[in-house]
Homo-oligomer: A and B are copies of this chain.
Amino acid sequence: MARPSFREQVLRAREDAILSSVNRLLAEKGFDAMTVDEVAADVGIAKASLYKHFASKEELAAAAMVQVLDRALALLAELEADSQASPLERLRAATRWTMQVQLAGEMPALPAQNSALRSALSAHRVYMERLVALSETLGSWIVAAQKAGQLDPGLPPEVILYTLFARACDPVLGLLKASGNHSDERIVEMLLSTCFDGLSGSRVPAPARSARGRAEPR
């Protein structure tokens, strides 16, 4: 790219504005309920201008999701650079980040099984490439954490991976935020706890009150 002309910079900036709006609307209402008119109104441009940037509603959503995946990949790179952190600490930090992004209203919902979006995304090269990169890094951390006994070695790694993806869009976050009874920080810490330690809670410290019959076997 020889010269980043002024015009190109303007287009670039506008695209970023569009993607921010799309991500927020995608998080708020989901793909089906989000209308292109709404996006245009939110960005403050004409609907026709949107179609100068993106060929379809699906393209629009895919580009927005690629943006989020790129932010996630940048975070993973940061975490990987911290050689002090254990695999589990990295996974918890990554999960905490996704929850914070969701609370900020910037995490688009997982495309539902039969959404029109799903097939479009599977066919989207850039999106799939980012998704695979993300999965591979997370997958390596998961396997390492299992080897270190920090994650249940009885679970197939893909089950843990899918669960972490799902928790990034967990509706519980939104329900708790809507209830207004807890700070964002507390919500994140509680859900991190339920995710990694379960509803039963971590039993690590000591067999505190183990008088009664213990939990059934897994």
Show the binding face of A for B, using Cβ within 8 Å.
Answer: 28-30, 32-33, 86, 88-89, 92, 109-110, 112-116, 148-156, 158-160, 162-164, 166, 169-172, 174-176, 178-179, 181-182, 189-191, 193-204, 207-210, 212-216, 218
20 more A-B residue pairs beyond the given contacts A86-B212, A162-B175, A195-B199, with a C-beta to C-beta distance below 8 A: A30-B112, A32-B32, A86-B213, A88-B216, A112-B171, A149-B208, A152-B193, A152-B197, A153-B201, A156-B190, A159-B176, A159-B190, A159-B191, A163-B194, A166-B175, A189-B218, A195-B198, A200-B202, A202-B215, A204-B214
7 nearest A-B pairs in the assembled complex, by CB-CB distance:
A152-B201, A198-B198, A149-B209, A197-B198, A32-B32, A203-B203, A29-B114
The binding surface of chain A is classed by DSSP as loop
Tell me whether A203 and B204 are in contact in the complex, defined as CB-CB below 8 angstroms, given that A89-B216, A181-B156 are known contacts. yes
Q: How many Å lie between the Cα of A28 and that of B213 in the bound state?
A: 40
